[in-house]
Amino acid sequence: MKIQTVEKTDKLNPGQFKKDKQPWRVADALTRFSGPVPVEDVVEAVKKNGYEKLLNEWAMEYGGVPRSVRYHLKNLSEEGMAKLNTFSNAATPTEAAAEVQDSLETTFGLERDLQTALRANISQLEEGLKITDGGKERTVPSGRIDILAAASDGAHVVIELKAGMADKDAIGQILAYMGDLHAEAKGNVRGILVAADFTEKAISASKPVPSLDLMKYGFKFSFQSVS
């Protein structure tokens, strides 16, 4: 069973939850969308609410995400505040909600792993890049920059990472980050958007911005016998 989209209903009310708690973060994220939205977009909206930071903290403290985290999307669905659309009509609402949560956590995990790998091998992205954010995401008015680096010519380089396909909204996101740093960098700021692939709209949106590069990531495996 695969979740395709999540859609808010007229009953969606983040105000019934305590602010900054798990159910509030997801409910508040859904208010930003007017219709059916891909799970990946919900993930991005929830991240802006600081949810990813909580997941990281829980993972460090408990060795994994507590089971209770899986229930808040199910509750939104059961209370009629959200509609979960799947490729299969056989799934129950509870199963569908669990699948959405799994998708959220998987995407968070992929982006964390990608960020960790890139921080350890930043020169593979561009020769001469040096990380300048002290090893943690820098907060700016528009959100949190995945990686902030400096190029060999002194330019600030904003690096944004997307697990899977990046769409035109990702272009707007990284441009906002670049704009936040424009004054500090005295206009000398570039962006690199890293994703598995890009939609046609994302590619078109990036073309008028010469200071923005789109980069695809890939994986290379090596194998070694242990016996």
105 and 29 part of one domain: yes
113 and 137 part of one domain: no
Please tell me whether residue 19 adopts helix, strand or coil conformation. Answer: coil
For 31, the domain range is 3-118
Phi-psi region of 134 (alpha: psi -120 to 50; beta: other; left: phi over 0): left
Structure-token pair, residue 120: 């350890």
130 and 177 part of one domain: yes
Position 221 in a domain: no
Residue pair 52/106 in contact by the 8 Å Cβ criterion: no
Please state the domain count of the chain: 2
Q: Where are the beta strands (DSSP E) in 180-225?
A: 189-198, 212-216
> What pLDDT shows up at residue 159?
96
What letter does residue 9 receive in the DSSP assignment? -
> What pLDDT shows up at residue 66?
38
pLDDT truncated to tens, each residue of the chain (227 aa)? 455 677 899 999 988 888 877 778 888 888 888 888 876 676 667 666 665 555 555 444 444 433 443 456 666 777 889 887 765 444 555 665 555 555 545 544 567 778 888 888 898 899 999 999 999 889 999 988 999 999 999 999 999 988 778 888 889 999 999 999 999 999 999 999 998 889 999 999 999 999 999 998 876 655 677 76
Dist. CA 179–CA 112, nearest whole Å:
24
113 and 132 part of one domain: no
- Residue at which a domain ends, from 99, 118, 137: 118
Chain-centroid distance of CA 18 in Å reads: 23
40 and 70 part of one domain: yes
Residues in Cβ contact with 96 at an 8 Å cutoff, skipping those fewer than 6 apart: 1, 3, 77, 84, 86
20 and 81 part of one domain: yes
Position 226 in a domain: no
